[in-house]
Chains A and B, each alone.
Chain A
Amino acid sequence: MSMSDIPIIQRVVAILWPSFIVAGIATVLFTTAFDPANISIFADYGISRLGSYTICFFLFWLFGAVTSTATCYFLKPCDAVNKRKSSGDSGSVKE
């Protein structure tokens, strides 16, 4: 099995979906512990609580997606990296 055996949709979902769930949980925990109305970056720009929650959620989602992307990137088997370099093709590499 190499990574190329996984459908595109499953790969996209593997990055966007876990980060979405974690972002939801993180937003709930973070905004429960800290009231955005007391956080100066939000308060200074006059962003409402609803706006602050939204910004928190999307920031957390972005961080999570970056992490998931890096995880998927590093999951590529070592052989696949070698083969691509030696054969010079940019297509999928099979084991």
Chain B
Amino acid sequence: MVESSQVVAKAVANKSDEEVEQSLYAKRQKIYVREVHGLFARLRAMGVLGLLGLFYIIPWLNLDGHQAVLFDLPARKFYILNMVFWPQDFFYLALLLIVSALTLFFVTALAGRVWCGYACPQTVWTEAFLWIERKVEGSRQQQMKLDKGANSFRKIRIKATKHFLWAAFALFTGLTFVGYFSPMRELAVNFLSFNTGPWETFWIYFYGFATYGNAGWLREQVCLYMCPYARFQSAMFDKDTMIISFDESRGLPKGPRKKSVDKVAAGLGDCIDCTICVQVCPTGIDIRNGLQYQCIGCAACIDACDDVMDKMGYDRGLIRYTTEHSLMGKHTHILRPRVIVYALILFGITVSAFYSILTRTPIAMDVIRDRNSLYRETNEGLIENVYIIKLLNMDKQDHSYTLTAAGIPDLILKKDTDKIVVKSGEVVELPVRVQVDAYDLKQRSSEISFTLTAIGNDDLSVVEEARFLGPAY
């Protein structure tokens, strides 16, 4: 992997100071991406359509009378299909994030940056914005000509059309994003009648603006300067990882020639130096200079080069998906320790995450000791502590529960009701008193436990520990 600092250092060595100053302070050159056709372009188009389709359609789907995927922030409930998550379930969401991260590591070790090239939101939205740009401004040459030309009515009209379409698409993206957090159908109606709440309105425009900026303007700079994954993915690479590479042994020495020329007699390799691989690159690099961290693995250069090779009557694959070992003429090992270790960890955590989610107990109980007094002595001479029991029924049905306490001999639990009824999704706060004989207390602070069990369903039960304070004898 070539680090950016090394690239800069190399550049510094080759140019005079003044030139370096110029180039480093120069305004970023816009990269005009040439349109490309071929197998990988089709795969990416499918990825873009599939993922964008999912993103825009999911908030409109309903299940069991609620939105199928809704992170209902105002109500502090997350609906994912037929499961409901509460703030108390945060642990499971953290587990799911760990599973996602491990999946990314595993895929990276095996297949390189396929995530970047086909599935990353930055790539997906940039592709969509590039498509709009191409439809409005035309091909790469036409775009460059338009930008170079003087301001004219035509230029302004074309630019305005592009930015209007971008803004509209970005705004729809912002609306959809907020639709994941605030019920979509209601939100869309309110949005069309300018009735969204102030915070919702803010986020729709904020996310819309971010989409417009990232996919319309920043583009490859997000990958170069903002993406942490781009910087550390090399840690997961080895010589058997799938990469996109230019086959130097076949391509060099490069040089233009007529199709009729015998390349062997002319002393040339297969690369005709047409630079189309550079023109199609969304990050503007030359893949022929070797593996670079700017390469997002989109394979546009493969499609472009294969096309040229076909036209020249040469074999395809001068630029291709390969591995370092394969380029060196060695055997590529797919099953290697790194891949096996990632796979085992991933499998273990995924299984335990899903097991714990499917078997989670849909009750949350918090025991809060009354902070106003340590303990008090009752008229009967017993030591009493007061607790607030906070119950949350996370199940989809209403339940009645019984509460018991244990931990100190002859402990007495006093509460207002024997049967605690908590409706689905509701919170009940219950003050309780625990009384014990001071003779049974061995130390100032003893551990007791409260057990809550659903009536008619003994499996639905939680235990919560608490401290009982008293005098020490």
Contact = CB atoms under 8 A, between A and B. Distances in A.
A1 to B, nearest CB: 7
B8 interface: yes
Contacts of A48: 74, 197, 199
Contacts of B73: 49-50, 53
Contact of B24 (A7, A13, A35, A50): A7
A8 B28 CA distance: 10
Interface residues of A, number: 22
Contacts of B90: 32
Contacts of B228: 21
Contacts of A14: 225
Interface in A8-67: 8-10, 13-14, 17, 21, 32-33, 35, 48-51, 53-54
A5 interface: yes
Interface residues of B, number: 28
A14 B4 CA distance: 15
B315 interface: no
Contacts of B224: 10
A32 to B, nearest CB: 5
Contact of A10 (B12, B74, B225): B225
Interface in B1-52: 5, 8-9, 12, 17, 20-21, 24-25, 28
Contacts of B20: 5
Give chain B's interface secondary structure class. helix
Contacts of B314: none
Nearest to A49: B74
A94 interface: yes
A54 B199 contact: yes
A94 B25 CA distance: 14
A33 to B, nearest CB: 8
B203 A54 contact: yes
Which of B5, B9, B199, B221 is packed against the most chain A CB atoms within 10 Å?
B199
Interface string B72-98: 011010000000000100100000000
Given A21-B228, A32-B87, 14 more contacts: A4-B24, A5-B8, A5-B12, A7-B24, A7-B225, A9-B225, A32-B90, A33-B87, A35-B87, A48-B74, A49-B73, A50-B182, A50-B199, A51-B199
Interface of B: 5, 8-9, 12, 17, 20-21, 24-25, 28, 73-74, 76, 87, 90, 181-182, 197-200, 202-203, 221, 224-226, 228
Interface of A: 1, 4-5, 7-10, 13-14, 17, 21, 32-33, 35, 48-51, 53-54, 92, 94
27 contacts: A1-B5, A5-B8, A5-B12, A5-B20, A7-B28, A8-B25, A9-B28, A13-B221, A13-B226, A14-B225, A17-B225, A48-B74, A48-B199, A49-B73, A49-B74, A49-B76, A50-B74, A50-B181, A50-B182, A50-B199, A50-B200, A51-B199, A53-B73, A54-B199, A54-B203, A92-B21, A94-B17
